[in-house]
């Protein structure tokens, strides 16, 4: 099979296609609060994988637009070409379970790449399946992928307007942060008024995406009968993991608010609903 029908690939699929000449593999291990984990990559990674630094290559500099605003298309192009991504080849991104690989997937798709996927279960699933690993840097033939712009995202103002029109906006953070529990990651506690909570981690079990029927139940509990329109999180990273899971379950065209809470909450003119901290 050329490519699975969902944005996920299994470890078994990757074992079978590991040596395919048109396949680029991206190691996007990253987690809060430490950030990108290049040391873990150098110690052990899937053969042929190229490390991608989420903070430096999948995001722009932090500031008023949030902790992880969208990168400049030229910067993203350079990073993907250095990682061996071609315009028509396939791409598989993975992480260690933090959901970071979905950020690479989302950016590639938003820039027009039609064959980007994520390894379901990440590196732990690969190791459990008996996949081989290697250490050290990897020499990769540069790719020719070009990102001119990104689609599928909305600004803070657009998020507010879409909410006002009655659409469903999903907050992918933990329930505690959504309900106003203080966090050093958040400029202010709480959530965007009117947003519904669906933690991204609820869409995964043992690091693998849940079955479509279970995902549908989660969406129904959070959004009722409406289709989700926008997803956000703390800084636009794990919301990509929620969007990835939603798409695998048939909930397509959910937009990303990349500034997310790290942009919204630092603007004193934006309203905040603190709810009741659990």
Question: H-type helices in 185-237, by residue range?
Answer: 212-223
**Dihedral through CA 91, CA 95, CA 99, CA 105, nearest 10?**
-10
Handedness of CA 132, 127, 85, 79 (dihedral sign): negative
Helix, strand, coil percentages in the chain from 3-state DSSP, rounded to 5:
30, 15, 50
Residue 233 appears among annotated catalytic residues: yes
Q: How far is CA 144 from CA 18, 48, 118, in A?
A: 20, 18, 20
The residue from 70, 209, 223, 233 that is catalytic is 233
* Alpha carbon distance 180, 190 (integer Å): 4
Q: Which position has the token pair 């849940």?
A: 210
**Strand locations in 17-147, DSSP E?**
23-27, 30-31, 35-36, 50-51, 90-94, 116-119
So which residues are the catalytic ones?
A: 233
């Amino acid at each position: 099979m050329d490519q699975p029908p969902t944005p996920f690939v299994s470890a078994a699929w990757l074992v079978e296609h590991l040596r395919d000449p048109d396949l680029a593999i991206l190691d996007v291990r990253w987690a809060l609060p430490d950030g990108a984990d290049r040391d873990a990559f150098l110690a052990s990674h899937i053969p042929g994988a190229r490390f991608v630094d989420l903070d430096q290559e999948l995001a722009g500099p932090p500031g008023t637009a949030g902790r992880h605003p969208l990168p400049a298309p030229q910067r993203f192009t350079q990073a993907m070409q250095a990682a061996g991504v071609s315009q028509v080849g396939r791409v598989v991104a993975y992480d260690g379970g933090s959901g970071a690989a979905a950020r690479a997937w989302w950016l590639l798709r938003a820039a027009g790449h039609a064959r980007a996927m994520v390894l379901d279960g990440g590196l732990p699933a690969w190791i459990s399946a008996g996949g081989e690993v290697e250490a050290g840097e990897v020499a990769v033939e540069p790719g020719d992928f070009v990102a001119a712009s990104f689609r599928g995202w909305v600004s803070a103002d657009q998020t507010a307007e879409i909410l006002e029109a009655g659409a469903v906006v999903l907050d992918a953070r933990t329930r505690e942060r959504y309900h106003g529990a203080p966090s050093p990651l958040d400029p202010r506690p709480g959530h965007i008024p009117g947003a519904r909570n669906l933690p991204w981690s609820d869409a995964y079990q043992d690091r693998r995406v849940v079955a479509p029927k279970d995902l549908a139940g989660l969406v129904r509990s959070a959004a009722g009968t409406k289709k989700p329109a926008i997803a956000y999180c703390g800084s636009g990273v794990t919301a990509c993991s929620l969007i990835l899971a939603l798409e695998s379950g048939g909930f397509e065209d959910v937009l990303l608010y990349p500034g997310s809470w790290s942009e919204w909450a630092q603007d004193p003119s934006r309203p905040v609903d603190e709810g009741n901290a659990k």
